[in-house]
Amino acid sequence: MKIDEIYEIYKRFPNVQTDSRKLRKGEIFFALKGPNFNGNQFTKSALELGASYVVADEFQFEDERIILVEDALNALQQLAKFHREQFDIPFIAITGSNGKTTTKELIHEVLATSYKTYTTVGNLNNQIGIPLTILKIKRDAEMAVIEMGANHLHEIASYCEYAKPGFGLITNIGKAHLEGFGGAENVKKGKGELFDYLRLHGGTAFVNTDDPAVFDLGKKLENAIYYGSIGGNINGQILETDPFLKIKIRGKSSFTIQSQLVGNYNLPNLVAASCIGEYFNVTDENIKKAIENYRPSNSRSQLITKDSNTIILDAYNANPGSMKAAIENFANMKGDNKILMLGSMMELGQDSQKEHEEIVSLIDKYKWHAVVLVGKQFNDIKQSYINFENSRQANEWFKNEKPQNSQILVKGSRSMQMEKVLDF
């Protein structure tokens, strides 16, 4: 069956699912395969649960509700592309090493004050999540904001082929996923694939002037809007950082924003959202209101007050750049009883030992009440701090220590599950 024929079915049943455990009656189930799963094996159960159709790439049995294709994932992506082509609205793609999801959510909040805006839910930013995001966009859409993650070359380029963004933003370029990309220079190339696509298709890039690598990529585009801490079409100045970030925006006019985000490293995220809002004629009042009402969640720069302690929970991900920024910001905050609880950074390949040693060297520069390092990557290097293999052990230490009147930073890669340190 051709994609346009599948699309006619999708128009009748416009909800798509790839996880049979979450399947609801009337949804189209795409039987995807991976290293540890094969969705084709759930064809029968999906139909029994009420799937309207199953798109499969392995024959299981005859049923008029089964659509057999050569590759179910490719069919999902091509269906998303076909759906995308039905819209003549701004599609804004966001990628980068740090801050993608926070920036995406801020931009969504700003645009949603003035436009019907659809965006990536959570961080569904990969080869499955992006097409699912596109297929959730309804006919009433006026804007779409698509987050794109990547850990190897040519990944962003492939996403652009079916998301077809007319606008794009690279938050920053740092030492994330070095193992998959094969080095820092390839990280720049990989993230730069978004700007390459925009350049070839006459799109517009929003360029962070504070990141030299992003700024360098932006020079290659004819259509570029610049933002940062100085210069550019719009810029932001930090007014306060303790505990929440307060900034002054200067663009067509000036206004202040009192955010609910901690960390001066969030400045580019706030300015980016303001820049895109201004570009699409969102009023200053609505930009300000949207950003000030935004509350971080899912362990992203969350400020938690528990008993007498103030906790910064930033455990959604970690790479050398974000880890250093979080430590330095925390070190400069007020407080005399600071505790660092850091989980190892992943996917750094042959640079892992060096990058973890550099983090320890940075920690050494400041005075702390306690430092707890979690994970093999930290524990395998020379350092004199408290060590644990996993977050469960660190949680036991935390419960036994019973810190009072303390300021605590909890950060680490997602796989370290550092939020469990705070479980009681």
Listed by start position, the domains of the chain span 3-71, 87-293, 302-422
Burial of 12 (0-12, 13-18, 19+ CB in 10 A): exposed
CATH number of 3-71: 3.40.1390.10
In the numeric block, which tokens belong to residue 203?
Answer: 């799109």
Q: What per-residue confidence (pLDDT) applies to 299?
A: 75
What mean pLDDT is reported for the chain? Answer: 95
- Tell me the pLDDT tens digit for each residue of 248-266: 999 999 999 999 999 999 9
| 3 state SS for 302-365 | EEEEECCEEEEEECCCCCHHHHHHHHHHHHCCCCCCEEEEEECCCCCHHHHHHHHHHHHHHHHC
Q: Residue 290: what are its φ and ψ, rounded to 5°?
A: -65, -45
Which residues are part of a known binding site? Answer: 96-102
Fold topology of 87-293:
UDP-N-acetylmuramoyl-L-alanine:D-glutamate ligase (3.40.1190)
Which residue, chain included where needed, has tokens 């524990």? 379
E-assigned strands of 187-228? 204-208, 224-228
Architecture of the domain defined by 302-422: Alpha-Beta Complex (3.90)
pTM of the model: 0.92
Which residues are part of a known binding site for ATP? Answer: 96-102
Beta-sheet pairing, 91-95 with 143-147: parallel
| Fold match, 3-71 / 87-293 | no
Across the beta sheet with 91-95, what order do the strands follow? 117-119, 143-147, 91-95, 167-170, 204-208, 224-228, 234-240, 244-250, 254-262
CA–CA distances in Å: residue 201 to residues 61, 209, 266: 44, 22, 30
CA–CA distances in Å: residue 199 to residues 143, 165, 196, 214, 315: 21, 11, 5, 14, 35
Q: What per-residue confidence (pLDDT) applies to 317?
A: 85
Lowest mean pLDDT among 8-12, 236-240, 281-285, 414-418: 414-418
- Tell me the pLDDT tens digit for each residue of 265-279: 999 999 999 999 999
Q: Are 95 and 148 in contact (CB under 8 A)?
A: yes
Distance of CA 309 to the CA centre of its chain: 28
Q: What per-residue confidence (pLDDT) applies to 424?
A: 57
Q: Residue 127: what are its φ and ψ, rounded to 5°?
A: -65, -20
In the numeric block, which tokens belong to residue 174?
Answer: 């740092």
CA–CA distances in Å: residue 127 to residues 198, 210, 273, 320, 408: 19, 29, 25, 25, 36
